[in-house]
Amino acid sequence: MDLPMGEIALFALALAGAGIVAGFMAGLFGIGGGAVLVPVFYQVFGLFGVDEAVRMHLSVGTSLAIIVPTSLRSFRAHYLRGAVDMDILRSFVLAVPAGVVLAALVAAHVSSEGLRAIFAGIAFLVSLRLLFNRDRWRLGTVVPANPVRSVVGVLIGFFSTLMGIGGGVMNNTFMTLYGRPMHQAVATSSGVGVLISVPGLIGYIWAGWGDPLLPIASSGYINWIAVLLIVPITLLVAPYGVQLAHALDKRKLELAFGLFLILVAVRFAWSLY
């Protein structure tokens, strides 16, 4: 922590900027903003000397902690507009947290390199979906019932928790492939973010509890300094993202976000060598 005050201020400004983007994304795409926060945290924690062995775990866990209030506020805003498919959300109530629990067990034992490889791989696949998605792509006209829906919920919870994201992109893909409108998919995804982030927060605290390599103000793989800095910003801007979600053609934003994820995937893949 012997960095000059100017550099510390610059890092705080970078985190604040990430918080603004994450808040907008939570409302706009229903994704919680974790795909932005995790790579930013990884860089900032590294600059502050956090050990490489826990840096990626801390980035993912802290991202999930921030998604808790962001997704709650985003879900409330979408719910009040009557846009959430509560039938799908209720069917995910057990399946998604089950995937989160499995992911927490994996996170407790996987290495930093393994977690970065997982993040890079999923980020690349998600970027392909964003870049090449077409509205006409369909697997059917009715969202599958159980057991298919429960299996999908477990997978959404599992992979989202390992990435530190709210599950929006995956749930959006699932719902739109079966003919659901994007706005409904986004709104429902905000509720999926709640189902992921709350048990994910608890899971990452448990997974990293007592690790001597963690920095000050950390409970397991959650750093509360970063949480307290960014949460107020994301809560402030998330409703504006919701407003845009109901008024904006998001195709260009999907393309930009897809390109961003490719860069992130390359960055993490490169760090493995």
* pLDDT (tens place) for every residue of the chain, 273 residues total: 555 677 667 767 777 877 787 777 766 665 656 777 888 888 888 877 889 999 999 999 999 998 898 889 889 988 998 989 999 999 999 999 999 999 999 999 999 999 999 989 988 888 887 788 766 677 888 899 889 999 999 999 999 999 888 888 788 888 988 888 878 888 899 899 999 999 999 999 999 999 999 988 899 999 998 898 888 887 788 778 777 766 766 677 677 777 877 887 887 888 787
Helix (H) or strand (E) holding 198: helix 182-208
3-state secondary structure of 222: strand
Range of the domain at 72: 5-271
**Length of the chain measured in residues:** 273
DSSP 8-state secondary structure symbol assigned to residue 219? E
| 246 closest CA partner among 133, 87, 78, 79 | 78
Number of domains, the chain: 1
